[in-house]
């Protein structure tokens, strides 16, 4: 008699936790997971499993290949193999990273044979093969942040990462996305809404799906990107026109001639050039973008001023790294501050997020 069982996905949502423990730093590359599963002798389309773990490996092997129908021959001493299959299917759908990410459910039928039980498996997916093939292996904060920067500079709507030794939560990825956004100021045309799903909720290795919902259509983003690039090139030519290496304060003065600080202004470099004003975020990103064009070391700092969100820049000078806030009023010239100077003015930021600015 042929018996049928259905195993459905019972995915649990990842809990929102706090804390950012360090991840191991390693190289990363795009990979497709592969499990070596023995085929039965004479027929490579039929897999063999002599134990529960080999059965799990066989199912993962089918999933990693995007196979919708497969056959597994179970050589076990257990007369009733259905509990084996039930548990194995649930493990693949709920606990294996790839299975949790891309499998909707697994169905099977079992035919008992004298020496073995033959399971005909049917797998229903909720991701396309292209989505599975696009998964990138990324281990370490640098690798994750690099993939996010790559997505932002192409206005990509998603990135899916297979991450080892990952014990963080959705908020950690969202924070990295914000950092990556500030790392690519010439593409900072509106911070996208970042949605993060982690498969499974626990484990040594997990798949992290990052969806990026931009505030503008891609065509508009590309158009604004082109206009911003042109404005930055014009300003760069003005600053290097005399053949002398550009200086940080010269660049700051030149940028402020293009627009002023407005707490109600736009939050992107494009807003500064197109409307003549921007808030602290728009100014800080615009100056970082100009410094990148001029090859001047510059970082965007994120923190607060009198408990209100604030962005500014950290630049490298002959005296070391210094804080520079183009949105702060200056009676004469643009001031540069040490950490102590800025803290005394009421600024706060996360320690270690930017280079230290110490007095010599």
Read off the pLDDT of residues 305-360 as tens digits, 9 standing for 90 and up.
Answer: 999 999 999 999 999 999 999 998 766 688 999 999 999 999 999 988 999 999 87
**DSSP H or E stretch at residue 48:** strand 43-49
Last residue of a domain, one of 213, 247, 269: 213
- CATH code for the domain of 330: 3.10.620.30
Residue 11 has pLDDT above 60, yes or no: no
Last residue of a domain, one of 127, 148, 173: 127
The answer on 343 and 232 residing in a single domain is yes
CA 243 to chain centre: 40
Q: Which residue in the block uniquely carries the two structure tokens 């998603």?
A: 158
The lowest-confidence range among 41-55, 181-195, 334-348 is 41-55
Report the pLDDT value the prediction gives residue 49, as an integer from 0 to 100: 93
**DSSP H or E stretch at residue 147:** helix 141-153
- CATH code for the domain of 123: 3.30.110
Please indicate, yes or no, if residue 342 is contained in any of the structural domains: yes
Please indicate, yes or no, if residue 190 is contained in any of the structural domains: yes
The answer on 328 and 241 residing in a single domain is yes
Cβ 357 vs Cβ 275: under 8 Å: no
Taking every pair of Cα atoms in the chain, the longest distance, rounded to a whole number of angstroms, is 93
Report the pLDDT value the prediction gives residue 331, as an integer from 0 to 100: 63
Report the pLDDT value the prediction gives residue 42, as an integer from 0 to 100: 52
Report the pLDDT value the prediction gives residue 25, as an integer from 0 to 100: 37
Please indicate, yes or no, if residue 41 is contained in any of the structural domains: yes
The answer on 337 and 223 residing in a single domain is yes
Cβ 78 vs Cβ 90: under 8 Å: no
The answer on 186 and 120 residing in a single domain is no
The answer on 166 and 289 residing in a single domain is no
Report the pLDDT value the prediction gives residue 30, as an integer from 0 to 100: 40
- % of the chain with per-residue pLDDT over 90: 72
The answer on 113 and 170 residing in a single domain is no
**β-strand 158-164 against 136-137: which pairing, if any?**
parallel
Residue 44 has pLDDT above 70, yes or no: no
Distance, in Å, from the CA atom of 197 to the CA atom of 208, rounded to the nearest integer, reads: 6
Predicted TM-score (pTM) of the model is 0.82
Q: To the nearest whole number, what is the mean pLDDT of the chain?
A: 87
Please indicate, yes or no, if residue 11 is contained in any of the structural domains: no
Report the pLDDT value the prediction gives residue 9, as an integer from 0 to 100: 37
Please indicate, yes or no, if residue 355 is contained in any of the structural domains: no
The answer on 202 and 103 residing in a single domain is no
Read off the pLDDT of residues 204-258 as tens digits, 9 standing for 90 and up.
Answer: 899 999 999 999 999 999 999 999 999 999 999 999 876 777 899 999 999 999 9
The answer on 343 and 230 residing in a single domain is yes
The answer on 228 and 207 residing in a single domain is no
The answer on 227 and 271 residing in a single domain is yes
Please indicate, yes or no, if residue 304 is contained in any of the structural domains: yes
The answer on 222 and 209 residing in a single domain is no
Residue 31 has pLDDT above 70, yes or no: no
Name the residue with higher pLDDT: 192 or 42.
192
The lowest-confidence range among 54-58, 110-114, 115-119 is 110-114
Please indicate, yes or no, if residue 44 is contained in any of the structural domains: yes
Last residue of a domain, one of 189, 213, 237: 213
> CB count, 10 Å around CB of 89?
27
Residue 68 has pLDDT above 50, yes or no: yes
Q: In the predicted model, what is the mean pLDDT of residues 53-73?
A: 94
The answer on 244 and 175 residing in a single domain is no
Name the residue with higher pLDDT: 80 or 350.
350
Distance, in Å, from the CA atom of 307 to the CA atom of 51, rounded to the nearest integer, reads: 60
Show the tokens assigned to 308. Answer: 């209100």
Distance, in Å, from the CA atom of 215 to the CA atom of 206, rounded to the nearest integer, reads: 29
> CB count, 10 Å around CB of 272?
30
Terminal alpha carbon distance of the chain: 85
Strand order in the sheet with 193-199: 29-30, 136-137, 158-164, 205-213, 193-199
- Exposure string (b/e) for 141-160, b if CB count within 10 Å is 16 or more? bebbbbbbbebbeebbeebb
Please indicate, yes or no, if residue 22 is contained in any of the structural domains: no
Number of domains present in the structure of the chain: 3
Residue 162 has pLDDT above 80, yes or no: yes
Range of the domain at 115: 32-127
């Amino acid at each position: 008699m042929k018996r049928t069982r259905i195993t459905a996905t019972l995915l649990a949502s990842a809990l929102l936790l706090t804390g950012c423990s360090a991840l191991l730093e390693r190289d990363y590359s795009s990979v497709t997971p592969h499990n070596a599963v023995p085929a039965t002798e004479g027929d490579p389309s039929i897999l063999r499993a002599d134990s529960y773990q080999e059965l799990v490996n066989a199912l993962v092997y089918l999933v990693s290949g995007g196979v919708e129908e497969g056959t597994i021959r179970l050589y076990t001493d257990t007369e009733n193999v259905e509990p084996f299959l039930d548990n194995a299917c649930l493990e693949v759908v709920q606990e294996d990273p790839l299975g949790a990410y891309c499998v909707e459910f697994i169905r099977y039928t079992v035919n008992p044979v004298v020496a073995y039980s033959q399971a005909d498996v049917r797998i229903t997916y909720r991701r396309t093969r292209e989505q599975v093939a696009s998964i990138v292996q990324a281990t370490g904060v640098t690798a994750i942040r690099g993939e996010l920067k790559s997505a932002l500079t192409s206005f990509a709507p998603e990135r899916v990462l297979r991450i080892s030794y990952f014990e963080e939560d959705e908020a950690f990825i969202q924070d990295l996305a914000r950092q990556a956004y500030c790392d690519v100021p010439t593409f900072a045309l509106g911070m996208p809404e970042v949605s993060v799903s982690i498969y499974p909720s626990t484990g040594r290795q997990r798949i992290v799906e990052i969806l990026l919902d931009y505030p503008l259509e891609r065509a508009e983003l590309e158009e604004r990107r082109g206009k911003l690039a042109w404005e930055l090139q014009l300003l760069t030519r003005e600053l290097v026109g005399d053949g002398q290496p550009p200086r940080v304060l010269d660049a700051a003065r030149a940028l402020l001639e293009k627009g002023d600080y407005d707490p109600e202004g736009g939050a992107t470099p494009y807003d500064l050039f197109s409307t003549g004003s921007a808030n602290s975020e728009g100014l800080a990103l615009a100056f970082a973008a100009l410094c990148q064009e001029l090859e001047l070391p510059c970082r965007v700092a994120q923190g607060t001023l009198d408990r209100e969100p604030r962005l500014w820049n950290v630049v490298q000078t002959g005296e070391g790294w210094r804080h520079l806030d183009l949105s702060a009023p200056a009676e004469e010239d643009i001031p540069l501050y040490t950490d102590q100077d800025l803290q005394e003015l009421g600024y706060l930021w996360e320690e270690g997020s930017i280079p230290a600015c110490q007095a010599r």
